[in-house]
Amino acid sequence: MFPSPMELLRSHLSRVRIPEPTNRIYKSECCISFDTPRSEGGLYVDLSSFLTFGKECVGWNYEKTGNPVYLRIQQRPKPVPEDRPLKKPTLLAIGVDGGFDYQETNYEETHNIVILPDYASLPFPSVELPEKVRLAVDAILIAEGAERKEQLAAWTAEKKKVSAYVMNLQQINSGVVVPPSGWKCCKCDKTDNLWLNLTDGMILCGRRNWDGSGGNNHAIEHYNETVSSSRETWYHSC
């Protein structure tokens, strides 16, 4: 006689972990493929590592780690009522009064506890589930996904440090007028790899690369000529 799904789950409770605040939880996209909860089969969240896998990859994770218990997250589009009235548009617009009718797709999310390798399934929520499993799943569902945190971190990356020389920037009235465009080195005709000296307004080319490309070292030469008399700050233009 084969064990029931509940018996299988109880036999693997030692492999289930309750997430802590420091744990990274993935639940929006498969770690290997591009599957999402809206893909066929949904996503499987490993209740031990909190990594997420699509239908075609979860078996690979089980073979590699031996972790058998997963939370399956599925999202299916809700049916649109057939009797929804259609209005004749009077404006060339979408989703506004008088415009073309637009119905945003709404999704219904369902959850199941799945035990591999036989894919035995139990519905969630259920009062019959062990408390440890219920606490683990509740924590996963309310947590902000690591994918979202990584996206936010990319947009709020630490800014570059400000040069100490900027705080006491010396500016000399040398009569140089910096044009809004058409920049070129003051000592040659190079128009790329240019540097603007924020002290005297000189525009000069940068370093010469090992293969002869880049600049002609005019910005470096100017720095070496003037560094003894003043502190200079440079702005890289292109």
All structural domains of the chain with their residue ranges: 5-80+88-148, 163-238
Order of strands across the sheet with 43-46?
A: 52-54, 43-46, 69-77, 107-115, 120-124
pLDDT bucket at 42, cuts 50 / 70 / 90: very high
The answer on pLDDT for 36 being more than 80 is yes
| CA 188 to mean position of chain CA atoms | 44
pLDDT at 2: 78
**DSSP letter string over 23-84?**
-----SS-SSS---TTSTT-EEEETTT--EEETTTHHHHHHHH---EEEEEEEEEPPPPTTP
- pTM listed for this prediction: 0.56
Are the folds of 5-80+88-148 and 163-238 the same? yes
Q: What is the pLDDT of residues 164-222, one digit of tens each?
A: 667 777 788 878 888 888 889 989 988 888 999 888 888 999 988 887 788 899 999 98
pLDDT at 119: 96
Residue 22 or 74, more confident: 74
User: Which residues in 144-158 are b (16+ Cβ under 10 Å) and which e?
Assistant: ebbbeeeeeeeeeee
Is domain 163-238 given the CATH code 3.90.226.10 in the classification?
A: no
CATH class of 5-80+88-148: alpha beta
